[in-house]
Amino acid sequence: MGRTLGFFSILVLLILIISASSSDDQRFTTDKIHFWFNGDGEQEQERAGGLSDEADSILMLERGGVARVPVNVHSFGAVGDGVADDTMAFRNAWYKACSLKNAVLLVPERHRYKVNATNFRGPCQRHLIVQVKGTIVAPDDPKDWDPKYPSTWLSFSNLNGVRFQGGGVIDGSGSKWWAASCKIDRTNPCKEAPTALTIDSSTKIRVKGLTIQFAQQMHFVIYRSDVVRVSGVRILAPKDSPNTDGIHIGESTDVAIQNCHIGTGDDCVSIVNASSNIKMKKIMCGPGHGISIGSLGKDKSTGIVTGVVLDTATISGTKNGLRIKTWQGGSGYVKSVRFENVKMNDVENPIIIDQFYCDSPATCKNQTSAVKISQVIFRNINGTSRTPHAMKFACSDTVPCSNIVLNNINLETENGTAKTFCNCAMGFHYGIVQPTADCLKSSSCGGIQEDAQRQTHDPTHTEL
């Protein structure tokens, strides 16, 4: 009788978790992706795939009978030789394009435009397209950086219904910033560095087919925005470049990232406070630190993230694979998360929930409050772990993780030592789960457990 009841409660829980996270699936269908392009009564058809860039721009100008108004940065004095300062040309071209309905801000191919930190502000007239075909490059010396923009390079704010496209490159020229980072040169004070591309306080934004590389710090931040579609974006930086997150999402809802290839020195994707309904599909990640929710709860702050789905990813050569990271002493919660259909290649910590996250030179003390983590499902996850820590659930003694679900997992190390480590993690597994994860059920606290066998092992996880 007890067993049957237990079985049914597990079944009900499973259904709850799967349905909570799969409501996002509907939102990700093409209908939803298309609806806002056609908004405001104008029936612009999304073009069929497979067209060349040239065909693309011709169609763009004529499609649906909408007369597009090109605004070329060269008409505003841009030189595009990679040396001249094209900042004013870009600012003036933006001002013009933003003021016209159906404008296309054109950044032509085969040129490099050096542009200083700028906030490209809206609101703009309807249907603005930013067509980047060439390369936009940042001045490379941190000493000359305009102190008015400590944390952004190209920032776009207060926009509604804008598309960024064109197959061009946004290049932060970040190497001098990396060398000056306190994580590389410990004699330097820890200072923030600019994000290459920021979308802030905006809605209905599409970013398609751009390359963002060598950012000073983060590559692409989506902040205080909703209904954002990112597809076919490539992000790259060396694996030792500090804090160069690929896509960082904060205070945003209804964000979809699809068909992106991200390899940097930090998280491929990081999702932080006040974000919900985030969907990632077909992601190639690595090198870097994997796909992360968090960090959350730093300096006793509140962190809330709900409704995250990752479906179909390959994660290669990274420090972590799928991670939720929270600092001791925070509050709030992470809830309703699904990671599925993921291939791991030589990942140090393929699956990790870490409520002892501590990315600071000083060690972090254990505290009683923590960001609560619940309803997290990992399923259909295969591949290789570089360390025995194939799965690690290091949860707080006072705010344990609950309803962690594992299904159909097969993670191996070269020498067959893959293990599951748990502290205060409650949940269950079904189907094939390798390495075994019985420590999930036993939910013991007060020291990390390895495969349900007691071990003294400090779960504190330090990342510098």
Ligand X SMILES: *[C@@H]1O[C@H](CO)[C@@H](O)[C@H](O)[C@H]1NC(C)=O
Secondary structure letter of residue 264 according to DSSP: -
Q: How much is the CA Rg of the chain, to the nearest whole Å?
A: 23
Asked if 366 is part of the footprint of ligand X (rule: CB under 6 A), the reply reads yes
289 carries an active-site annotation: yes
Asked if 368 is part of the footprint of ligand X (rule: CB under 6 A), the reply reads no
Task: Tell me the CA end-to-end span of the chain in Å, nearest whole number.
Answer: 51
Asked if 54 is part of the footprint of ligand X (rule: CB under 6 A), the reply reads no
Answer for which of 219, 319, 386, 419 binds ligand X (CB under 6 A) is 386
Q: Of 111, 248, 261, 289, which residue is the catalytic one?
A: 289
Answer for which of 387, 436, 443, 444 binds ligand X (CB under 6 A) is 387
- Return the residues of window 243-302 that contact ligand X according to CB under 6 A: 273-274, 301-302
Of 41-49, 212-220, 319-327, 381-389, which segment contacts ligand X by CB under 6 A? 381-389
CB of 386 to ligand X, least distance (A): 6
- Return the residues of window 313-342 that contact ligand X according to CB under 6 A: 341-342
Cβ atoms of 268 and 246 within 8 Å: the answer is yes
Distance CA 111, CA 132 (A): 11
Tokens of 338: 């699904």
Phi-psi region of 417 (alpha: psi -120 to 50; beta: other; left: phi over 0): alpha
Distance CA 195, CA 131 (A): 20
Answer for which of 380, 434, 436, 443 binds ligand X (CB under 6 A) is 380
Distance CA 419, CA 438 (A): 11
Of 26-34, 65-73, 408-416, 435-443, which segment contacts ligand X by CB under 6 A? 408-416
Answer for which of 125, 231, 253, 382 binds ligand X (CB under 6 A) is 382
Q: One-letter amino acid identity for 227? A: V
CA geometry: angle 456, 462, 464, nearest 5 deg: 160
Asked if 81 is part of the footprint of ligand X (rule: CB under 6 A), the reply reads no
- For ligand X, the closer CB: 166 or 194: 194
H-helix or E-strand spanning residue 6: helix 2-27
Say what the alpha-carbon torsion angle 151, 154, 158, 159 is, to the nearest 10 degrees.
-150
Enumerate binding residues for ligand X (CB under 6 A).
85, 87-88, 116, 139, 144, 273-274, 301-302, 304, 341-343, 366, 380, 382, 386-388, 397, 410, 413-415, 417, 423, 445-447, 458-460
Which are the catalytic amino acids?
289
